[in-house]
C-alpha cells in the first residue's frame, strides 16, 4: 500500500508542476494581463507632464510584479515614515532647498532593500533628471551588482500636450478626471457621479505648462543622450491611443522591439 501511495504522491506532484508550467506558457502566448514570471525588471520611464507615464507605469507594475518608484511619492513616504533620509529631506525642504542627489539615490536604494514589491524589480519615474543623477544611479546599482535594462521615453509634441493638459478637469474629492475635448462630463463642469463642480488645476494652464515643458526639455535632453550612448534608450510615440503605447511598451520590455 505504501508503494502505491508514494507513486500517487509523485504523480500528483508531477501533474501540479506541469499544470503550473502550462498556465505560465498560456499566459505568455495570450499576453494576458496580470503578473508574469519574468526576470527582475529594472527600467526608467521618461516623459513630459501629461505624456502618459501615470497610465503606463501602473500597468507595467501589475504585469511584471515590480515596484513603481515615483520620486515625489517616495519622498513623501520617507518623510511620513520619519526615516533618517526622510528627516534630512524634510529639513532641507522646510528651508526651501532642493533635496540632494545623494539623498534621492539613498531613498531609491532603501526602497530596493526594504520594499517587498521591489523584489520583482522597479520602474523609476521622475528620476534621473540630470546626467550626474544618472551616473549616481548607475554607481548605486553597480554596488548591488545590478544594471538597468530599459530606458523608455514617451515622446509627444508639445502643442498636443498643451491641448491634452489644458482641457483637464478634475473632481477633487474622488480624483476622477475629464477632458473638455476628449472625455467631457455629461453636464459641463459637473462630475457625472456626484453632480459636484469640477475644477481645473492651477498648474494645468497653458502658460504654466509651456514653462514646465521648456524646463523639462532643457533638463531631459542630456539624460536621453546619456542613455542613447549606452544603447538602453528606446522611444515610443505617446500621441497614440494608450492601448497602442502599451503594446509598444510590452514589446520593448519583452525584447521584441
Q: Which residues are catalytic?
A: 53, 129, 168, 201, 212
**Is 28 assigned a ligand-binding role in the annotation?**
no
**Is 97 assigned a ligand-binding role in the annotation?**
yes
**Is 201 assigned a ligand-binding role in the annotation?**
yes
**Is 37 assigned a ligand-binding role in the annotation?**
no
**Is 147 assigned a ligand-binding role in the annotation?**
no
**Is 177 assigned a ligand-binding role in the annotation?**
yes
**Is 50 assigned a ligand-binding role in the annotation?**
yes
- Length of the chain as a residue count: 257
DSSP string for the chain:
-HHHHHHHHHHHHHHHHHHHHHHHHHHHHHT-SS----SPEEEEEE--TTSSHHHHHHHHHHHHT-EEEEHHHHHHHHHHTT-HHHHHHHHHHHTTPPPPHHHHHHHHHHHHHH-GGGGGEEEEES---SHHHHHHHHHHHHHTT----EEEEEE--HHHHHHHHHTEEE-TTT--EEETTTB--SSTTB-TTT-PBPB--GGGSHHHHHHHHHHHHHHHHHHHHHHHHHT-EEEEETTS-HHHHHHHHHHHHTT--
**Is 200 assigned a ligand-binding role in the annotation?**
no
**Is 129 assigned a ligand-binding role in the annotation?**
yes
**Is 71 assigned a ligand-binding role in the annotation?**
yes
**Is 56 assigned a ligand-binding role in the annotation?**
no
Give the integer Cα–Cα distance in Å for 236 and 47: 10
**Is 76 assigned a ligand-binding role in the annotation?**
yes
Residue numbering of the annotated binding site: 50-55, 71, 76, 97-99, 126-129, 133, 168, 177-178, 201, 212, 240
Residue numbering of the annotated binding site for ATP: 50-55, 168, 177-178, 240
Residue numbering of the annotated binding site for AMP: 71, 76, 97-99, 126-129, 133, 201, 212
Amino acid at each position: 500500500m505504501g508503494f502505491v501511495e508514494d507513486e500517487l504522491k509523485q504523480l500528483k506532484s508531477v501533474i501540479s508542476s506541469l499544470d503550473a508550467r502550462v498556465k505560465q506558457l498560456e499566459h505568455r502566448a495570450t499576453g494576458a494581463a496580470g503578473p508574469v514570471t519574468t526576470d527582475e525588471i529594472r527600467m526608467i520611464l521618461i516623459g513630459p507632464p501629461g505624456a502618459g507615464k501615470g497610465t503606463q507605469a501602473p500597468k507595467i507594475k501589475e504585469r511584471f510584479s515590480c515596484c513603481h518608484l515615483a520620486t515625489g511619492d517616495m519622498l513623501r513616504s520617507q518623510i511620513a515614515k520619519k526615516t533618517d533620509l526622510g528627516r534630512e529631506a524634510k529639513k532641507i525642504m522646510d528651508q526651501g532647498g532642493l533635496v540632494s542627489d545623494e539623498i534621492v539615490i539613498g531613498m531609491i536604494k532603501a526602497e530596493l532593500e526594504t520594499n517587498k514589491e521591489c523584489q520583482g524589480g522597479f520602474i523609476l519615474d521622475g528620476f534621473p533628471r540630470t546626467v550626474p543623477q544618472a551616473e549616481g544611479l548607475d554607481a548605486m546599482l553597480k554596488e548591488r551588482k545590478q544594471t538597468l535594462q530599459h530606458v523608455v521615453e514617451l515622446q509627444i509634441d508639445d502643442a498636443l500636450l498643451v491641448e491634452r493638459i489644458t482641457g483637464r478637469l478634475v473632481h477633487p474629492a474622488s480624483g476622477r478626471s475629464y477632458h473638455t475635448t476628449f472625455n467631457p462630463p455629461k453636464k459641463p463642469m459637473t462630475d457625472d457621479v456626484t453632480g459636484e463642480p469640477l475644477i481645473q488645476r492651477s498648474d494645468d494652464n497653458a502658460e504654466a505648462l509651456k514653462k514646465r515643458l521648456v524646463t523639462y526639455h532643457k533638463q531631459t535632453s542630456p539624460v536621453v543622450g546619456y542613455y542613447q550612448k549606452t544603447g538602453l534608450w528606446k522611444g515610443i510615440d505617446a500621441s497614440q491611443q494608450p492601448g497602442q503605447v502599451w503594446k509598444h511598451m510590452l514589446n520593448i520590455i519583452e525584447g521584441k522591439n
